[in-house]
Amino acid sequence: MREWGWRRSPADRALEGALWGVAAMVALVFAAMVGQVVWEGASVVDVAFLTEGPRDAGRAGGVLPILVSTVSILLICMAFVVPVGLGTAMFLTGVAPSGGRSARWLGRSLDVLAGVPSIVFGLFGNAFFCQVLGLGFSILAGGLTLACMALPLFIRAAETGLRAVPGEMRLAAAALGLSRSTTLLRLMLPAASRAIVAGLVLSVGRALAETAALIFTSGYVDRMPGSMFDSGRALSVHIYDLSMNVAGGERSAWGSALVLLTLLVVIQAGASWMTRAWVRRGYTA
């Protein structure tokens, strides 16, 4: 406000102080949570913890099979979410008539799916992927179930980013004779890449933290999976089991939580790097 020449009234100062207080409170909650996980888990995580399998119901040993299962489930989830989610978002913003019946019903369906409890997705995944498709308790069934959960969030984030692209960009592309597909792929997607990646990171966070849906689909087995058709235990399920069902498993649970948090940070950093590369490539290709 000062650079515009406005005078700050007492109400402005009070509002600014309140906003700083809210921001500080959110930062403190985040710092307390991360600090607790790092403090409790740093003494547990070492090379052996990352390269060995669990022993004694998880009280001893490491999390290598759990980590491999988690990454496999996540890769299957993202391999389905990214193309289907981007395609749906581009359909809603570039193909379907604005305010048309198809866009309206699809949008309502996404909003309903985003609010469905995870346990319902787990029951659906068990009934459809595990039984109807015959996948059984497997990493593939778990990844596809998580994809169904993550899709609404990712599609809405990508759609919001695409709709935020200035209309002048579309008009300029049309004036230059660019096709609709070229405009979407070369102009709009790079311009909306930050919103798309933000939606992807949020989707990954929800998938990594999911427990209920994976118990019903990917299973509970803590051995190293041989293929995506084998059962595998995710880190979130492992943490839940150690905390709730295994006496003396809290120490390994904190270590597993630190590994899960680190995995999320690495994914977010990789997504940010991909965003910058995508923007440069999109505008120069």
79-94 burial string, b = 16+ CB within 10 Å, else e? ebbbeebbebbbebbe
Closest-CA residue to 140 (of 228, 8, 212, 239): 228
Residue range 252-257: average pLDDT?
91
How high is the pLDDT of residue 282? 52
Query: Which pLDDT tens digit goes with each residue over 112-143?
Result: 888 888 889 999 999 999 999 999 899 999 99
Looking at per-residue confidence, does 42 or 212 come out higher?
42
Domain spans, the chain: 60-284
Q: How confident is the model at residue 22 (pLDDT cuts 50, 70, 90)?
A: very high
Residue range 6-34: average pLDDT?
87
Closest-CA residue to 157 (of 208, 194, 206, 103): 194
**Model's pTM, two decimal places?**
0.84
Q: Is the pLDDT of residue 13 over 90?
A: no
Q: Say how many C-beta atoms besides its own lie within 10 A of residue 63's C-beta.
A: 28
Return the percentage of the chain with pLDDT > 90, whole number.
Answer: 27
Cα–Cα distance between 171 and 180 in angstroms, integer?
11
Query: Which pLDDT tens digit goes with each residue over 67-91?
Result: 999 999 999 998 999 899 988 888 8
* Two structure tokens written together for 175: 């004036």
Spacing of C-alpha 215 from chain mean position? 18
Query: Which pLDDT tens digit goes with each residue over 182-226?
Result: 777 777 777 788 888 888 888 887 777 778 888 889 988 888 888
> ∠ at Cα 145 (142, 149), nearest 5°?
135
With beta carbons less than 8 A apart as the criterion, state whether 203 and 39 touch. Answer: no
With beta carbons less than 8 A apart as the criterion, state whether 156 and 192 touch. Answer: no
Query: Which pLDDT tens digit goes with each residue over 255-281?
Result: 999 999 898 888 878 777 776 776 666
Fold of 60-284: MetI-like fold (1.10.3720)
